[in-house]
Amino acid sequence: MSEFVHFVVGGAHDTEPDAQGRIVVPAHLRRYAGLETEAQVIGVTRWLEVWEPGRWRARLAQVESSLPQSLASLGI
């Protein structure tokens, strides 16, 4: 289990906005996420996720297609 947790949260990066409100995404994380020119910032409870826009659209489509089954499994 600890290996999984290390993999999932090991790439997390704390950062502070600069004087103009910008944040810098480290190069290794930009490569991992496939970020080149644009980014999609997603609010997730208490943190933000930065996605390559095309990958985000694909993920959102995947979540939307499985949503009815997920809700049904919860009795909703």
**Model confidence pLDDT, tens digit, residues 25-57:** 888 889 988 999 999 999 988 888 899 999 999
Residues with Cβ within 8 Å of residue 23, at least 6 apart in sequence? 15, 16, 17
User: Which pair of tokens denotes residue 10?
Assistant: 């090991």
**Around Cβ 37, how many Cβ atoms within 10 Å?**
6
Query: CA 8 to CA 74: how far, in whole Å?
Result: 25
Name the more confident of 10 and 55.
Answer: 55
